[in-house]
């Protein structure tokens, strides 16, 4: 790769901030990869990323950058990095990362985020989960009781 | 289950999930937007959770309930008699279930599920691909016949410790034309033969008495690719010979604690596509048999040998000569020599995993030589060998691709040195068990170990009972004699 000029792509977040990144980093997102393929190979491509704010996008790009150069690292080094990366994210960022990875089609990040949320859910009661994510219980007590009753059939 | 309560739930099943925009507390907290995650994300969140945790999620709110039920693919149910009446409701709630386990807990006070229950369940699971029955002691051959009638898409069936016989199993084998994988474990002697089928690719048999009934199963399945036989009584030489005649695409063979000799191995050597071979506790197998397989099966990628007293240097020399593509070599309690191990290391360039358990003659010199030759090594397991810190140092400096290192019960290796290695090579996951620590013996891949241990425990307790019985008899007789 030495001597070859790296292809750059400009991504625009929903709040209008521009990010200039290498093409190979941006292509971690299938959404961008497809957009690039459709638009043909041009210099200075601008791609708007709707629904993703600059704060989230910078965090997403941090992930993409690491994973674009994943071949340089050993598998468990990447795992370790992933773990630290997602550990830093608070609940809000976690939500935005999930939403962004969904709209930008970054499977790896979506799975990583989902796993983190799953680990937050683990061991909690339904009420604790509702409180954590601020979800309103829209079941009638009767329905809730009914679902609980069905659970008894599960083998543990 | 009272039918009055079924109503609200069944209504819920038909209702579309509530609209997301209708969320009614917009900015009390930033967190509330979790409700607005796309279904795909939510499904992905549920994926790593176990049944209990998923159940908890399903009562959080309606949307979670809906997404959770639509994405539940595996279900494990308590196979008691009462399940018959509740099964329709449960199975229509989880209508995407493709893997179902019916598990009867033997310590529970209720009766197990019967034939009628199995019929109801089969009727409500038309898309089932995997089915497992465990301890369903009231299910008979007649009950099993309902399964192929309704579940035509079954690909994997696993039957564990039930009381039905060969006829029921045959009806599944013949009726489910897509069936690829069959595993049968802990059954008492079958009175009739179990048939094979054209679609079967994987057969695994564990803890079954009387091998003769199983002969057609493995000799009449021409598409067989994977065969695992663990702890089954009877002589298996003939079975494997016949299987080798009919099936010519065997890829994966595992034989553990069964009665086979070199005759079977010679027959297996005709399987040129063989990639993995695991032999454990098959005492009659010798170097000659292993060499025969190794000589002819050039695609071998994995070889595991455990507790075979008559296998040693000759086999290793043959492996070194023939198995250029070998990726994994596991040797546990085999009479190893350093010379042959080095020979393997010199010739098998692509070796990625090496497991050595109990090699008294494998010291630092041999292992240093091995790791210098096998630069592609990713996993190294050493247990009970006279190696020392010298090897650890060599690993620190060499082994560029090593990812996992396990050193267990090696008296010469100090914890300090291992800690130092851990600091220097953060990329390696290290598992160290010192000489004084307790260590469960691990054989890296040979399965059925736990079951074997359990069986040994049962055998030991039976033995104890036997002694007790004999002792009480003697006491009884002596007393009678004294009385006279």
**Residue B417's pLDDT band (boundaries 50, 70, 90)?**
very high
pLDDT at A34 over 90: no
B56 lies in a domain? yes
User: What architecture does CATH give domain A8-124?
Assistant: 2-Layer Sandwich (3.30)
Residues of chain A found within 8 Å of residue B28, distances taken between Cβ atoms:
134
A89 vs A99: CA distance, rounded Å = 14
The CATH number of whichever domain residue B64 belongs to comes to 1.20.1280.50
pLDDT of B53 reads 92
Q: Best interface-test mutation with A: which of B26, B40, B48, B59 has the largest number of A CBs within 10 A?
A: B59
B449 lies in a domain? no
The string of pLDDT tens digits covering residues A89-104 is 888 899 999 999 999 9
Average pLDDT over residues B190-202: 93
B59 lies in a domain? yes
Average pLDDT over residues B386-403: 91
Average pLDDT over residues B231-247: 89
Which of B41, B58, B403 is opposite residue A114, by nearest beta carbon? B41
pLDDT of B328 reads 95
B81 lies in a domain? no
**Cβ within 8 Å of B, A 86-105:** 91-92, 95, 98-99, 102
Q: What are the structure tokens assigned to B307, written together?
A: 């507790």
Q: Does the beta-carbon distance from A91 to B31 stay under 8 Å?
A: yes
Q: What are the structure tokens assigned to A92, written together?
A: 């809000």
Which of B40, B77, B403 is opposite residue A102, by nearest beta carbon? B40
B360 vs B358: CA distance, rounded Å = 6
Number of structural domains chain B divides into: 1
**Residue A137 at interface with chain B, using a CB cutoff of 8 Å:** yes
Give the structural domain span for B50.
Answer: 35-72
Nearest Cα to Cα of residue B439 among B403, B402, B411: B411
**Cβ within 8 Å of B, A 20-79:** 74-77
**Residue B443's pLDDT band (boundaries 50, 70, 90)?**
very low
Residues of chain A found within 8 Å of residue B92, distances taken between Cβ atoms:
none
Average pLDDT over residues B96-104: 94
B308 lies in a domain? no
B395 vs B391: CA distance, rounded Å = 6
Q: What's the whole-number average pLDDT of chain B?
A: 86
pLDDT of B24 reads 39
pLDDT of B449 reads 46
Q: Best interface-test mutation with B: which of A80, A116, A138 has the largest number of B CBs within 10 A?
A: A138
pLDDT at B156 over 60: yes
Average pLDDT over residues B134-141: 93
Q: Does the beta-carbon distance from B93 to A150 stay under 8 Å?
A: yes
Closest-CA distance, A18 to chain B, in angstroms, reads: 25
The string of pLDDT tens digits covering residues B248-300 is 899 999 999 999 999 999 999 999 999 999 999 998 999 999 999 999 998 99
pLDDT at B6 over 50: no
pLDDT at B20 over 50: no
In this complex, how many residue pairs, one in chain A and one in chain B, have their CB atoms less than 8 Å apart? Answer: 143
Q: Does the beta-carbon distance from B9 to A150 stay under 8 Å?
A: yes
pLDDT of B207 reads 94
- Contact between residue B281 and residue B306 where contact means Cβ atoms under 8 Å apart: yes
Phi and psi, residue B236, nearest 5°: -110, 0
B186 lies in a domain? no
Which of A137, A140, A145 is opposite residue B61, by nearest beta carbon? A137
B98 lies in a domain? no
B268 lies in a domain? no
pLDDT > 70 in chain B, percent: 89
Q: Which has the minimum average pLDDT: A24-33, B28-37, B76-85, B180-189?
A: B28-37
Q: Does the beta-carbon distance from A140 to B8 stay under 8 Å?
A: yes
Average pLDDT over residues B448-472: 71
pLDDT at B336 over 70: yes
Residues of chain A found within 8 Å of residue B18, distances taken between Cβ atoms:
138
B321 vs B228: CA distance, rounded Å = 27
pLDDT of B217 reads 92
Q: Which has the minimum average pLDDT: A118-132, B16-30, B327-341?
A: B16-30
Average pLDDT over residues A107-118: 94
pLDDT of A47 reads 86
pLDDT of A1 reads 42
Q: Does the beta-carbon distance from B56 to A95 stay under 8 Å?
A: no
The ipTM is 0.90
Residues of chain B found within 8 Å of residue A76, distances taken between Cβ atoms:
403, 427, 429
A102 vs B70: CA distance, rounded Å = 19
**Residue A122's pLDDT band (boundaries 50, 70, 90)?**
very high
């Amino acid at each position: 790769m030495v001597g070859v000029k790296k292809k750059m792509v400009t991504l625009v977040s929903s709040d209008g901030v521009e990010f200039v990144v290498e093409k190979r980093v941006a292509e971690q997102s299938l959404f961008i990869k497809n957009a690039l393929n459709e638009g043909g190979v041009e210099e200075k491509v601008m791609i708007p990323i709707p629904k993703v704010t600059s704060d989230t996008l910078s965090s997403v790009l941090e992930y993409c950058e690491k994973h674009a150069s994943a071949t340089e690292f050993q598998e468990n080094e990447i795992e370790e990095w992933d773990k630290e990366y997602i550990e830093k994210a608070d609940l809000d960022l976690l939500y935005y990362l999930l939403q962004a990875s969904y709209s930008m089609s970054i499977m790896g990040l979506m799975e990583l985020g989902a796993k983190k949320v799953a680990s937050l859910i683990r061991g909690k009661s339904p009420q604790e989960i509702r409180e954590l994510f601020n979800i309103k219980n829209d079941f009638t007590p009767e329905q809730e009781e009914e679902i609980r009753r069905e659970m008894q059939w599960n083998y543990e | 289950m009272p039918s009055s309560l079924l109503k609200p739930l069944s209504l819920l099943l038909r209702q579309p999930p509530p609209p997301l925009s209708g969320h009614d507390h917009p900015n009390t907290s930033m967190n509330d937007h979790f409700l607005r995650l796309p279904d795909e994300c939510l499904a992905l969140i549920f994926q790593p959770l176990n049944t209990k945790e998923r159940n908890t999620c399903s009562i959080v709110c309606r949307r979670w309930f809906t997404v959770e039920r639509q994405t539940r693919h595996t279900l494990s149910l308590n196979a008691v008699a009462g399940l018959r009446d509740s099964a329709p409701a449960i199975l229509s709630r989880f209508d995407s279930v493709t893997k179902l386990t019916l598990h009867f807990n033997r310590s529970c006070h209720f009766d197990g599920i019967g034939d009628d229950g199995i019929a109801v369940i089969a009727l409500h699971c038309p898309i089932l691909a995997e089915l497992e029955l465990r301890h369903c002691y009231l299910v008979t051959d007649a009950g099993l016949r309902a399964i192929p009638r309704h579940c035509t898409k079954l690909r994997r069936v696993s039957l564990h410790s039930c009381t039905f016989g060969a006829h029921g199993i045959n009806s599944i084998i013949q009726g489910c034309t897509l069936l690829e994988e069959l595993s049968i474990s802990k059954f008492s002697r079958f009175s009739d033969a179990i048939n094979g089928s054209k679609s079967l690719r994987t057969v695994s048999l564990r803890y079954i008495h009387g091998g003769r009934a199983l002969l057609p199963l493995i000799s009449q399945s021409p598409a067989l690719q994977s065969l695992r036989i663990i702890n089954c009584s009877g002589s298996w030489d003939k079975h494997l010979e016949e299987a080798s005649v009919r099936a010519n695409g065997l890829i994966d063979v595992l034989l553990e604690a069964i009665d086979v000799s070199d005759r079977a191995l010679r027959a297996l050597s005709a399987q040129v596509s063989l990639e993995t071979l695991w032999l454990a506790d098959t005492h009659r197998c010798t170097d000659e048999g292993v060499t025969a397989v190794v000589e002819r099966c050039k695609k071998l990628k994995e070889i595991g040998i455990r507790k075979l007293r008559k296998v040693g240097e000759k086999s290793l020399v043959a492996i070194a000569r023939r198995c250029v593509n070998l990726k994994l070599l596991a040797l546990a309690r085999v009479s190893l020599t350093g010379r042959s191990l080095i020979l393997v290391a010199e010739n098998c360039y692509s070796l990625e995993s090496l497991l050595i358990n109990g090699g008294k003659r494998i010291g630092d010199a041999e292992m240093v030589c091995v790791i210098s030759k096998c630069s592609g090594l990713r996993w190294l397991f050493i247990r009970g060998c006279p190696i020392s810190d010298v090897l650890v140092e060599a690993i620190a400096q060499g082994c560029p691709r090593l990812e996992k290192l396990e050193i267990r019960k090696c008296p010469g290796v100090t914890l300090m040195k291992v800690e130092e290695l851990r600091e220097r090579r953060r990329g390696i996951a290290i598992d160290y068990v010192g000489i004084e620590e307790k260590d469960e013996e691990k054989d890296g891949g040979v399965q059925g170990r736990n079951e074997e241990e359990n069986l040994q425990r049962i055998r030991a307790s039976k033995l104890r009972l036997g002694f007790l019985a004999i002792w009480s008899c003697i006491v009884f007789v002596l007393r009678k004699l004294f009385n006279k």
